[in-house]
Amino acid sequence: MLKSGGRALLLIGCPEVPVQTSLALYLCSRLRMNGWEVVVAGTGAALKLLEVADPEGHYLSETMDLDDCIAKAVEGEIAFDICFAFMHSDAGVTYGATISSISSARIYALIYGREAEKLAEMVEYDCEKIVAKAVHNPAPLKIRLDKVMGWAA
Amino acid sequence: MLKSGGRALLLIGCPEVPVQTSLALYLCSRLRMNGWEVVVAGTGAALKLLEVADPEGHYLSETMDLDDCIAKAVEGEIAFDICFAFMHSDAGVTYGATISSISSARIYALIYGREAEKLAEMVEYDCEKIVAKAVHNPAPLKIRLDKVMGWAA
């Protein structure tokens, strides 16, 4: 079970896979309930998908541009205790590697999409891998996430 | 501007296109704010994407299986004042045609994805078409929807 409180980062890349928006909002909800301050860093389209899905702002709080976030983390201007790196492509794996090399945050790699298993093999940095072939159905990934985080019903 | 109140149906098919979940939750929020009772009928994966994205139930209320909904509408067991039919494929166009032929609801066809314009030409039943090539960025479709509904900021 994850301890409560602290600062959490969600790193969200290109939104090609439908499960991404749903899992990101779910994570925002669960983390906030557990006392975490959550920042979501994403590409323009990824953030827009989240904002439109949460028009009354119940789940999302702080958002920032993905590249700005990486740049600020490199400069030491921002820091996090934990980071959830969403990945369904090489780009996602690379963003995760970058944050892993510049941050002392505990990293959870959420790996999904058709190539999930192949991508998981590419992730060689120190992190907790949460892997499911989910593309359209978020349930397999949510079940694994809940188990790792100790959120299982 | 759409009048307030009544019973609204959102018809949601296979969730291949990421904008669908975001737009559906946005519609739930706006319609409920305007006094509408909203039912979302969708495929299993489409509903699961909505439920995971709204874990605290701020936007979603009643949901039902897409085929059950059509069957009950055919039998006259359920009725709606307005219906938003989401479509990014032939299947979506067909569901819209079915509901149009069995219901007196005013129909809004939300047509999106890479083939949006081609699909729009296939929609020959009486409805208000809201068309945008949106796949990953929900903004173009949201802007057109807001304009048609009189929700523009």
DSSP string, A26-54: HHHHHHHHTTEEEEEEE-HHHHHHHHHH-
pLDDT exceeds cutoff 60 at B69: yes
pLDDT exceeds cutoff 70 at B153: no
Burial class (CB in 10 A: 0-12, 13-18, 19+), B77: exposed
Tell me the pLDDT tens digit for each residue of B28-58: 999 999 999 999 999 999 999 999 999 999 9
Tell me the pLDDT tens digit for each residue of A15-62: 888 899 999 999 999 999 999 999 999 999 999 999 999 999 999 999
Task: Return the residue of B nearest to A25 by Cα.
Answer: B53
pLDDT exceeds cutoff 80 at A2: no
Structure tokens at B49: 């994407």
Helix B19-33, helix B44-53: angle, nearest 10: 70
Tell me the pLDDT tens digit for each residue of A103-126: 999 999 999 999 999 999 999 999
| B30, B46, B138 ranked by CB distance to A49: nearest | B138
DSSP string, A54-90: -TT-SS--EEEEHHHHHHHHHTTS---SEEEEEESSH
- DSSP run (H or E) holding B64: strand B62-65
Chains A, B: CB contacts under 8 A, how many?
98
Chain A residues in contact with B58 (beta carbon < 8 A): 56, 58
Contact A49 B18 (CB under 8 A): yes
Local confidence band at A138 (pLDDT 50, 70, 90 cut-offs):
very high
Tell me the pLDDT tens digit for each residue of B81-99: 999 999 998 888 988 999 9
Backbone angles phi, psi at A79, to 5 degrees: -145, 155
DSSP string, B13-59: ----STHHHHHHHHHHHHHHHTTEEEEEEE-HHHHHHHHHH-TT-SS
Q: How high is the pLDDT of residue A48?
A: 96
> How is residue B3 annotated by DSSP?
P
Contact A56 B53 (CB under 8 A): no
Chain A residues in contact with B139 (beta carbon < 8 A): 48, 52
Distance CA A50, CA A43 (A): 11
DSSP helix/strand/coil, B146? helix
Distance CA B110, CA B84 (A): 7
Chain A residues near any Cβ of chain B (below 8 Å): 14-23, 25-26, 29-30, 44-46, 48-50, 52-56, 58-59, 136-139, 142
What percent of chain B has a predicted confidence (pLDDT) above 70? 97
> How is residue A3 annotated by DSSP?
P
Q: How high is the pLDDT of residue A135?
A: 87
Chain B residues in contact with A25 (beta carbon < 8 A): 52-55
Sequence-ordered list of residues with C-beta below 8 angstroms from that of B112, at least 6 positions apart, any chain: B17, B19, B20, B23, B86, B87, B88, B131, B132, B133, B134, B135, B141
Tell me the pLDDT tens digit for each residue of B88-145: 988 889 889 999 999 999 999 999 999 999 999 999 999 999 999 988 899 999 999 9
Distance CA A84, CA A12 (A): 9
Of A89, A43, A36, the residue nearest A63 (C-alpha): A43
Of B19, B53, B7, B31, the residue nearest B146 (C-alpha): B31
Of A63, A25, A137, the residue nearest B22 (C-alpha): A25
Q: How high is the pLDDT of residue A153?
A: 63
Structure tokens at A46: 């990824």
Q: How high is the pLDDT of residue B123?
A: 94
What percent of chain B has a predicted confidence (pLDDT) above 90? 82
